[in-house]
Amino acid sequence: MDANKLFAAALQLGSEWKVSRSELSAKEHTLKIWLDFQQGHRFPCPECRRASPVHDTVEKRWRHMNFWQYRTELIARVPRIDCPEHGVRLVEVPWARAGSGFTLMMEAVILMLSREMSVSAMAEMLKEQDTRLWRVLGHYVEKAYRREDWSEVKKILVDETSSKRGHRYVTVVTDAESRKLLFLAEGRGKEALEAFAKEMKEHNADPGQIEAICMDMSPSYISGAREFFPKAERIFDHFHVMQMAGEAVDQVRKEFGRQGLLPKGSLWALRGNEWTRSEEQKGLRSSLCAAYPRLGRAIGLREALQEILSQEDPQELRWWFRWADRSRLAPFRRLSKTIKEHLGGIIAFLQSRITNGTIEAINGLIQLAKRMARGFRSFRYLRIAAFLKAGKLRLDLPALPT
């Protein structure tokens, strides 16, 4: 078997195509394969599939997967047919999709590599421009995303995560049941929820089907949920409540820090849960709380609130409010007021136990996606990478010729 027949067999060309010649350059480490069609063959119109005669030809090129580690390029005289109904049209070739500069086999390789590598690393390995790779990934991600059916989505989790340095944020919407990323939007507020409500209509869904939204106490998110998801119960996740409690402890700690009363290492000894601290940190935490009752009161308020939120009885919050209000600790008095203002959503959490713990894991995957899209030039690249990592999309590998 000569080289041209070998390449034709490997490329699985149809009877209407042939390898006319090939050229391997050891110096440039490249392989070029020229393809041509059989004279007299009639090709189907891309619009109506009617077989029509060849009108003229156009030269096209595609990057193919390497042969024997040689960078491989296909070059073909692609016919344009003259359809009686649709006029002159470029025919479809069996080895590549329309408009792509890669063969279907090469696109399959790109999709598989994207599961394990950043686009920049993939571009370096394949010796390709990263923008070309992003276009391929974007095509298949968008195709799979458009097929997603959200008709069974009833409960959603809404949170924010950073997209770039300088306090640039994106809003993340996740299905509370399937734990998959549904939506990603620039910004963090009402406009993002409005955009998600509109997007639902593209996925066989309607905002009225959403029964619950778990989110933080951002006024903008609350406003968006109230306006665009009026039937949904608003749930305020205990993670965000405890985050605010931790910040209140921090504010009390800083009062003592400014007076120079706290020794080195006190920051991490006083932060977080006691069972996550080392024995040395536990000892320092205990001695500081004994030495400074206001600090001990702050730690006690935080730990008591955490215990209450781990239970289901909202009545336990009443005595905590009384303690916080009488604590003479301004940060905790403000926290008490905030919780009272959002009590309905916190009670909803105690009853439903729906949390944003899942979305925190999704945010971690999005941070991995940021590294995959290292140096990304647009939000679109981050979105593509995020759905590759967290969208649980059914990505179809390119349909290879048979």
In a domain, 20, yes or no: yes
Asked if residue 199 belongs to a domain, the reply is no
For residue range 290-309, list pLDDT tens digits in order. Answer: 999 999 999 999 999 999 99
Q: What is the mean pLDDT of the chain?
A: 91
The letter for the amino acid at 257 is G
Which residue type is seen at 21? R
Q: What are phi and psi of 60, to 5 degrees?
A: -130, 155
Is pLDDT at 3 greater than 60 in this prediction?
yes
CA distance 39 to 79: 11
Domain end position, chosen among 109, 143, 177: 143
Q: Name the strand (E) or helix (H) holding 293.
A: helix 293-309
Which amino acid, 293?
P
Compute the 3-state secondary structure of the chain and give helix, strand, coil in percent, each to the nearest 5.
50, 20, 30
CA distance 170 to 196: 13
Tally Cβ neighbours within 10 Å of residue 320. Answer: 18
| Rounded Cα–Cα distance for residues 84 and 61 (Å) | 28
Please provide the distance, in angstroms rounded to a whole number, between the alpha carbons at the two ends of the chain. Answer: 21
Cα 220 to Cα 197: distance, rounded to the nearest angstrom: 15
Residue 218 has pLDDT above 60, yes or no: yes
132 lies in the same domain as 12: yes
Residue 121 within any structural domain of the chain: yes
Band (118; pLDDT cuts 50, 70, 90): confident
Are 130 and 8 in the same domain? yes
Percent above pLDDT 90 for the chain: 69
Say if residue 213's pLDDT is above 90: yes
Least confident of 39-48, 161-170, 174-183: 161-170
List Cβ<8 Å contacts ≥24 apart for 296-301: 297/327, 297/329, 298/248, 298/249, 298/252, 298/253, 298/327, 298/329, 298/331, 298/332, 299/249, 299/270, 301/245, 301/248, 301/327, 301/329, 301/332
Q: How many domains does the chain have?
A: 2
CB count within 10 Å of CB 178 equals 13
Q: Does 375 score more than 60 pLDDT?
A: no
Query: Same structural domain for residues 11 and 124?
Result: yes
Specify the pLDDT at position 167.
56
The boundaries of the domain holding residue 46 are 3-143
Q: What is the pLDDT of residues 15-26, one digit of tens each?
A: 899 999 999 999
Helix (H) or strand (E) holding 233: strand 233-236
Between 234 and 117, the higher pLDDT residue? 234
Q: Which of 143, 167, 187 is the last residue of a domain?
A: 143
62 within a domain of the structure (yes/no): yes
Give the domain-ending residue among 333, 352, 371. Answer: 352
Kindly report, residue by residue over 134-175, the tens digit of the pLDDT: 999 999 999 999 999 999 999 999 998 877 655 578 899 999
pLDDT band at 377 (very low <50, low <70, confident <90, very high): low
Instruction: Tell me if 392 is assigned to some domain.
Output: no
| Residues 53-88 pLDDT 10s | 999 999 999 999 998 889 999 999 999 999 999 999
**Could you tell me which residues come within 8 angstroms of residue 238 by beta carbon, excluding any fewer than 6 positions away?**
309, 346, 349, 355
pLDDT of residue 116 exceeding 80, the answer is yes
